[in-house]
Structure 1
Amino acid sequence: MNHTVELAPHRFAGLVAPAVDRAFAAGLQAGRDRGAAGLSQRYGGPAATGFLVEFRTRLAEPGGIVDEPGFAAVTRYRDAAECRRALDKQVAYGMLHRRPDGGIAATERGLAFLGELWGLQAEVTAELWAGHEERVVRLVEAFGRLLAYALVLDAERPDAAGAAFAATAPPYEPDGTPPGVLLLNRLGTLRHHRADAHAAAWSAAGHTARSVAALPPGPERLAIDLETDRRAAGPYAVLTAEERLTVLADLAALPG
């Protein structure tokens, strides 16, 4: 087999996306099973913590800000008015601060919650992926390179940069962050890169967030998916064909 042809970046983008989704979802579910709901409840429940969790890779960093375009991009498939009301509640709970320019930042209480969340995620990912430490380390390194290259590409072509990725990347990684947390957050951040590529693809095809969500399987959806792969492919050029195969194998082998 000619791996260079079979796993060209745009083809790899389509193959790796569901594997990334599976590993990321497994890490989040392990946290829910282990007590994330209880942690959230101590701070007011999902109504108080929802956006802190969703934007944790930016808001956990002291001084980290999510601007209005980034917030809108990450929540693009949800009702905007409902999102604003939910955000108002989290501000009222004292977890988030709304800036004069419309951006949001974590309060001291919000940062305390995220610090505890980091600790919980460290425990659950260590348990979930126990026995796969070498794979996790390889994936952390690979996805670190992918994120770094994606940021370079966005800096070179700001007109093509995606707002959701910009709102979450680079993920906050303080010294001593365990490999499982690094992997979970790097996977989640790269998912936003693909989400931006998907939004650009359906927008170019004349769709809105609502209309594309209702689009049935068929040639039009396939064309959008293939265009998404093409637009999402850029970062994967930093990996060799052999490294792409290794990433797929390592993701497939992770429990969850």
Structure 2
Amino acid sequence: MSDPAVPGRDPASDAPSRNVERVELPPHRFAGLVAPAVDRAFTAAMCAGRDGVVELSSRYGGPAASGFLVEFRTRLATPGGTVSCPGFAALTRYQDPAACRRALDKQVAYGMLQRMPDGGCCATDRGLAFLGELWQVHARATGELWAGHDDRLTRLVTALGRVLTYALVLAESDEPGAFAALAPPHEPEDSPPGVLLLNRLGTLRHHRADAHAAAWTAAGHTATSVAALPPGPERLAIEQETDRRAAGPYAVLSAEERLAMLGDLAALPG
């Protein structure tokens, strides 16, 4: 419904008074705004599937048998997919390396993972069977959590697909990291939109994690020291540098598309 025109006045002259301005949301600003929205939606979906994952995991030996399969599912479920030794180190950069090696040893002992000659890992047939069931668990969980949001899911899946595709192009010149270890996410043809969104969000989070690691490394920190860094100018500077480094893939979207992504993520239940 349009506003009535004022008699004797050019309607175009009303534009300034309506306070309508073009949205300016450059990639570096968007990177900082979208990160918590991505985290919220991803965490909500993972929490929605938690009980199902616990039940599934119990049939395969429990969390000690399946932890890395869940974390690295978007690569390990890919036919022939492996997580390299450098990729494993990047994905677990905030954890104790010795503890991670012990956890990996346990999952190898349970017959879920197999070590590769380079120190990396891949899923065994038993691990692949687990991942096939995990996809079903996540399909049910996201289908219930995001029921009635089909159009929103379609927009988000499409936009994130463009962002991740461009991120892969940009990553060709970067040092291998967590993003390269898991991207592109495995997407079987029958994957419902909720699963596609969950795994694209998860993969995108690793892109920001790499940007954050690069930012604190450039500032002279380690994973341990940056975790202990209190709020203040130094932490703010690292976060701003993280936004700058994470911004590249979002250039593929227009400012209006970035705003729409923020709105769609905010509107998802969870």
Same fold (TM over 0.5): yes
Question: Is 1:12 aligned with 2:30?
Answer: yes
Aligned partner of 2:225 in structure 1 is 211
What is the alpha-carbon root mean square deviation over aligned residues? 0.8
Question: Is 1:231 aligned with 2:248?
Answer: no
Question: Is 1:65 aligned with 2:82?
Answer: yes
Aligned partner of 1:253 in structure 2 is 267
Distance in 1 separating the partners of 2:81 and 2:124: 10
Question: Per-residue deviation at 1:161?
Answer: 3.9
Q: C-alpha deviations, 1:181-238, integer Å up to 9, x for none?
A: 0000000000000000000000000000000000000000000000000000000000
Aligned partner of 1:186 in structure 2 is 200
Instruction: Give the counterpart of 2:137 among 104, 109, 120.
Output: 120
- The within-5 A match list for 1:101-180 is 101-155=118-172, 157=173, 160-180=174-194
Question: Is 1:3 aligned with 2:23?
Answer: yes
Aligned partner of 2:16 in structure 1 is none
- For 2:32, the aligned partner's letter is G
Aligned partner of 1:90 in structure 2 is 107
Q: Does the CA-based 8 Å contact 1:162-1:197 persist in structure 2?
A: no
Aligned length: 250
Distance in 1 separating the partners of 2:93 and 2:87: 10
| SS state at 1:3 partner | coil
| SS state at 2:122 partner | strand
Distance in 2 separating the partners of 1:111 and 1:90: 13
Q: Does the CA-based 8 Å contact 1:52-1:59 persist in structure 2?
A: yes
Question: Per-residue deviation at 1:100?
Answer: 1.3
User: Equivalent pairs: percent with the same residue?
Assistant: 76
- Runs of 4+ displaced beyond 2 Å: none
Uncovered stretches (5+) of structure 2, i.e. residues with no partner = 1-20
Question: Per-residue deviation at 1:121?
Answer: 0.5
TM-score (norm 1): 0.96
Q: C-alpha deviations, 1:124-160, integer Å up to 9, x for none?
A: 10110001111011000010000000001112x2xx2
Question: Per-residue deviation at 1:101?
Answer: 1.4
Distance in 1 separating the partners of 2:77 and 2:156: 22
Larger Rg belongs to: 2
Question: Residue 162 and residue 217 in structure 1: after superposition, are their counterparts in 2 closer, same or farther (change >3 A)?
Answer: farther
Aligned partner of 1:38 in structure 2 is 55
Q: Does the CA-based 8 Å contact 2:45-2:142 persist in structure 1?
A: yes
TM-score (norm 2): 0.91
More helix by share: 1
Q: Does the CA-based 8 Å contact 2:86-2:176 persist in structure 1?
A: no
Q: Does the CA-based 8 Å contact 2:38-2:265 persist in structure 1?
A: yes
Q: Does the CA-based 8 Å contact 2:26-2:255 persist in structure 1?
A: yes
Q: Does the CA-based 8 Å contact 2:154-2:193 persist in structure 1?
A: yes
Aligned partner of 1:28 in structure 2 is 46
Question: Per-residue deviation at 1:112?
Answer: 0.2
Question: Per-residue deviation at 1:162?
Answer: 4.4
Q: Does the CA-based 8 Å contact 1:162-1:193 persist in structure 2?
A: no
